[in-house]
Amino acid sequence: MRFAILAAALALPTVALAADPVQDTIEARQGFYKLLGANMGVLAGMAKGEIDYDAAAAQTAADNMGTLTSYNLGHLYMPGTSSADSDKTRALPKIWEDFAGVQEKGAAYVAAVKAMQGVAGAGKDQMAGALGALGGSCKGCHDTYRAK
């Protein structure tokens, strides 16, 4: 009984913090993309020579991105979470108006990630060669669906 009371008491602050589903969704979406960006940063840093090329680290970054592409993002795009609804996001309302276009760009991104996974650990030149298509797939979505 004491354990149940303690568990309930500890859960109350958590429930209170989750009172803004719009902000929580925006933050979760941003967190997801920060994870992608962190791994992209490793690959880009290696391609630019800012980070020494390390086959295992490059492959890990590409595989992390691959793992993230299997995540179902649907709930992160809850209506009411665009830049028209909150100043805490750069997600343009166009996302919700053109979801077919978003999915098309997402499919191109997934294909670019898979291509990167195939070569990331094979050598700096191969990894750098795949980086252009991967970066282009990111840029294509950002240019269309994210505010500057």
CATH code of the domain in which 67 resides: 1.20.120.10
Residue 15 in domain: no
**How far apart are alpha carbons 86 and 104 in whole angstroms?**
26
Residue 84 in domain: yes
Q: Specify burial of residue 31 (Cβ count, 10 A radius: 0-12, 13-18, 19+).
A: exposed
Q: Domain of residue 114: give its range.
A: 21-145
What is the percent of the chain where pLDDT is above 90?
87
Model confidence at 8, pLDDT cuts 50, 70, 90, reads low
Residue 71 backbone dihedrals phi, psi, to 5 degrees: -75, 135
Residue 120 in domain: yes
Q: Which residue has the tokens 């969704």?
A: 25
Residue 134 in domain: yes
**How far apart are alpha carbons 82 and 96 in whole angstroms?**
8
Lowest mean pLDDT among 1-15, 54-68, 71-85: 1-15
Please state the domain count of the chain: 1
Please state the pTM of the whole predicted model: 0.85
